[in-house]
Amino acid sequence: MGRKTQVAIVAIVVLLLGGAVAAYAYDGAQKDTIADGVTVAGVDLSGMNSEEATQALTNQVLAPQRKPVTVTFRKQKFRLPAKQLKIRANVQQAVDQALEESRSGSLPTRVFREITGGEVQATVPVKVSYSQKAVNQFVKKVADGIVQEPVDASVAAGPDSLSVVKSKNGYKLRDNLLTEQLNKLLDSGQGTRTLVAKVNVTKPSVTTAEVAEKYPTYLTLDRSTYTLTLWKNLNKVKSYTVAVGQQGLETPAGTYSIQDKQVDPVWTVPNSAWAGDMAGEVVPGGTAENPLKARWMGIFDGAGIHGTDDTGSLGSAASHGCVRMSIPDVIDLYDRVDVGTPIYIG
């Protein structure tokens, strides 16, 4: 081997060694820099050092998580402060992993990639932790705050009127769905911090269309005009002149129902001062001594509707609490009502 050849070989070795040293030094200088193409939780950290990457993740991942979550339903708002959620994120661990991903490959591979502007295709997640108990308690608060029970259609009765109170749908929070939405929001840390609550509609047991079926027969009593009115399917059918309780023994006001029906009822005389010597006696039905003539329809606590032969008392407050009717009228009414028929006395 000639002198010139030896010199050439030495020169080449020196150049190679120099290049290796330079490459090693260059690679070492990049060890604390995140490679291009590395993202953490969707945040591009290319070219950042550990401190810069930590700050960027804190601003873009943790900062939004520190805002409250709001759930709305119509005009209602429910607020869940971030403090209650006790949100934590492994930001530093994610940054360390991003740096580790940046060092993937051999030294020549890294140097070549860095010199030529290549990228590391690496996506690193940030694990966010929070109190599931706080989420569950908040969902229950929302559920309790917006629940509305359905309203059955009903009848609003007056002394001489009937009107239908319309049914209303209720609603109940779709609590499982809201829990899923909150978890998804908190896991990702992305998206709006305001959610709209979704509900399931609950139907009433009695709709407006069905209310007439529920009340095929109804009675109303106007004590001021001594008028008992029969209603069928919420329509006025017939009115009767009656007698009601005298002062001190008034026919009880309120909504009741026909509790029992009897033909030629037995009269058990109340133990009241007005009964005199007959108090407590039992008078057979259908007898002259029995003032409960022909028919009986019990209402409440000994008070009821019955026939009377004292037709002169009709149209006045004359009874001891019962509703008196003429015998033809009480027989007519008796056949038109069933046990359970409601009666409003006003």
**Side chain identity at residue 70, one-letter code:** T
Neighbours of 339 (CB within 10 A): 11
How far, in Å, CA of 246 to CA of 244, rounded?
A: 7
**Residue 201, Cα to own-chain centre: how many angstroms?**
9
Tokens representing residue 114 in the block: 């860095």
Candidate list 155, 173, 322, 325, residue with the active-site label:
322
Q: Helices (DSSP H) in the chain: which residue ranges?
A: 3-29, 50-57, 63-65, 82-85, 91-102, 107-116, 132-146, 175-188, 211-214, 327-334
Q: Is the dihedral of CA 181, 187, 192, 193 positive or negative?
A: positive
Candidate list 261, 306, 320, 324, residue with the active-site label:
306
Tokens representing residue 191 in the block: 């998206």
257 pairs with which residues across the strands? 342
322 included as an active-site residue: yes
Q: Residues 207, 213: contact at Cβ < 8 Å? A: no
**Side chain identity at residue 142, one-letter code:** V
> DSSP 3-state assignment of 42?
coil
123 pairs with which residues across the strands? 39
306 included as an active-site residue: yes
Q: Residues 26, 111: contact at Cβ < 8 Å? A: yes
Active site positions, annotated:
306, 322
